[in-house]
Amino acid sequence: MIKVMVVDDHDLVRTGLRHILSQSDDIEVVGEAASGEEALREVRTNQPDVILLDVSMPGLSGFEVCDRLNKYHKEVKVIILTAHAQEPYPSRLLEAGASGYLTKSCAADELQNAIRKVNSGQRYIGSDIAQQLAIAMLPGSKGSPFEELSAREMEVVLMLTQGMAMQNIADALSLSPKTVATYKYRVYEKLEVNNEVALTRLALEHGLLEERG
């Protein structure tokens, strides 16, 4: 039996995934979490084989969670399951240690198949994600300005666009406020913006954020 943990800040999504996976005889949902922080706590208790991980969550995003799981729980495989197919999400999260990447529009049987393949040690990338990666590699293709950012810089971007204070970001990432400030202004320079409003507008323009009601 493949033990799966679902990490998503939307209760309806977690409920839906639990129902979908309950249809499989070889997959069992052993736990769920509504935030990155909760996921890192629960992984020790639930000991999943595979984690289905959203990217955009309050607090720690999928970037930091994936990185920490890769460092401290290498035995746990991570499949990113998100609404975001745009670069640089796929490439940065795969670099951070994710074994799979799917969008939430994938079919139930594809999700189950991805879990089985990743659990067996293979990688699985949805066809729409593979297409995005291929397009990004084409000579002369106009990519997102966010492709210039590292995974850690992307993490800082997501926290800034949530309106998190510098000290809170520093605490969440176990960094000093000075280091976070360095990341912030490096991001501003790379993206050619000078405040958080402009940063948020640019992120929305390039599909990196979900517009929440």
Phi, psi of 83 (to 5 degrees): -85, -10
Q: Are the CB atoms for 172 and 60 separated by under 8 Å?
A: yes
Greater confidence (29 vs 85) lies with: 29
| pLDDT value of position 144 | 79
Q: Is 75 exposed, middle or buried (0-12, 13-18, 19+ CB in 10 A)?
A: exposed
- Cα atoms in the Cβ-side hemisphere of radius 13 Å centred on 164: 25
| pLDDT value of position 210 | 65
Q: What pTM does this model have?
A: 0.83
Find the CATH number of the domain harbouring 195: 1.10.10.10
Q: Give the domain range for residue 180.
A: 145-205
pLDDT surpasses 70 at 188? yes
Out of 171-180, 187-196, 201-210, pick the least confident: 201-210
Phi, psi of 105 (to 5 degrees): -85, 0
- Asked whether residue 164 is assigned to any structural domain, the reply reads yes
| pLDDT value of position 127 | 80
Q: Please give the mean pLDDT across all residues of the chain.
A: 90
The four Cα atoms 192, 197, 201, 203 give a dihedral, to 10 degrees, of 70
Phi, psi of 43 (to 5 degrees): -65, -30
pLDDT surpasses 90 at 14? yes
- Asked whether residue 192 is assigned to any structural domain, the reply reads yes
- Asked whether residue 78 is assigned to any structural domain, the reply reads yes
Same domain, 25 and 106: yes
- Asked whether residue 210 is assigned to any structural domain, the reply reads no
* Count of domains observed in the chain: 2
Same domain, 131 and 27: yes
